[in-house]
Amino acid sequence: MKIRRVLSILAVLFSLSIFVYAQELKPITLSAPQTQGGKPLMQAFKDRKSAREFSSKELSLKVMSDLLWAANGINRPDIAHRTAPSAMNMQEIDIYVAKADGVYVYDAKANKLLPVVAGDIRALTGKQPFVKDAPVNIIYVADLSKMSKLSAEDKNFYAAADTGFISENVYLYCASVGLATVVRGSMDKTALARAMKLRGDQKVILAQTVGYPEIKAGGR
């Protein structure tokens, strides 16, 4: 009798966990970027650095919105150009965001984060221990279908170069507002691409962790 009750409780818990896991992610509408404030650019250069200790504190919607816009948002709506340059204006780099609830992709035109896969895959975005707890891991993904006229060598070169500009924008935004960040090449790209359900013509280029700096007990 007891065993039957335990089994039925377990069955309920199991179906609840499936329900929670399978719960659909909803699109996140981002706020308009705040283009005032933050440290002046020269000071942001002075403070730019890589950090590898992160608090698990979530980023607010406003911070997430400003971060993504600084990274590669549309800064000239009349011509839909971006805060980062891209070779031949291909705009082939998509910004995926792995959070605790799932993976989203940044739609700069709609200023939204669109759901990609539910579930926490942060641990798969890198080989270093901090990636699983930091609130945000960005994954830079090249959409090779937008580069179809180029040779394989040029695709690799321009996708890497264009990612570098976006990543540096993220570094400078983080330096400007006191966030911690590090760009990362160390990861299992095949496993990550599978978890993100990427198409065959999408390629993971780099990842970048973003969060608040970890304040050690007794530290400042």
* Among the residue ranges 1-9, 10-18, 182-190, 193-201, the one whose residues contact ligand FMN (CB under 6 A): 182-190
Contacts (Cβ under 8 Å, ≥6 apart) of 104? 25, 28, 96, 97, 113, 114, 115, 116
Q: Does 46 bind ligand FMN (CB under 6 A)?
A: no
In whole angstroms, the minimum distance from the beta carbon of 126 to ligand FMN comes to: 7
Cβ(137)–Cβ(207) below 8 Å: yes
In whole angstroms, the minimum distance from the beta carbon of 190 to ligand FMN comes to: 16
Q: How many CB atoms lie within 10 A of CB 175?
A: 21
> Of 58, 185, 67, nearest to 134 (Cα)?
58
Nearer to ligand FMN, 32 or 41 (CB): 41
Q: Does 52 bind ligand FMN (CB under 6 A)?
A: yes
Query: Which residue in 27, 186, 191, 215 binds ligand FMN (CB under 6 A)?
Result: 186
Residue with tokens 């890589």, as numbered in its chain: 50
Write each residue from 1 to 40 as x if it is in contact with ligand FMN (CB under 6 A), else as -, in one continuous string.
----------------------------------------
CA 55, 57, 63, 64 torsion-angle sign: positive
In whole angstroms, the minimum distance from the beta carbon of 185 to ligand FMN comes to: 4
Q: Which residues pair with 203 in a beta bridge?
A: 142
Q: For residue 8, what are its two tokens?
A: 């039925």
Q: How many CB atoms lie within 10 A of CB 88?
A: 12
Q: Does 182 bind ligand FMN (CB under 6 A)?
A: yes
Q: Does 185 bind ligand FMN (CB under 6 A)?
A: yes
Q: For residue 147, what are its two tokens?
A: 């580069």
Nearer to ligand FMN, 30 or 183 (CB): 183
Which amino acid makes up residue 164? G
In whole angstroms, the minimum distance from the beta carbon of 163 to ligand FMN comes to: 8
Q: Which residues contribute to the site for ligand FMN (CB under 6 A)?
A: 49-50, 52, 128, 182-186, 206
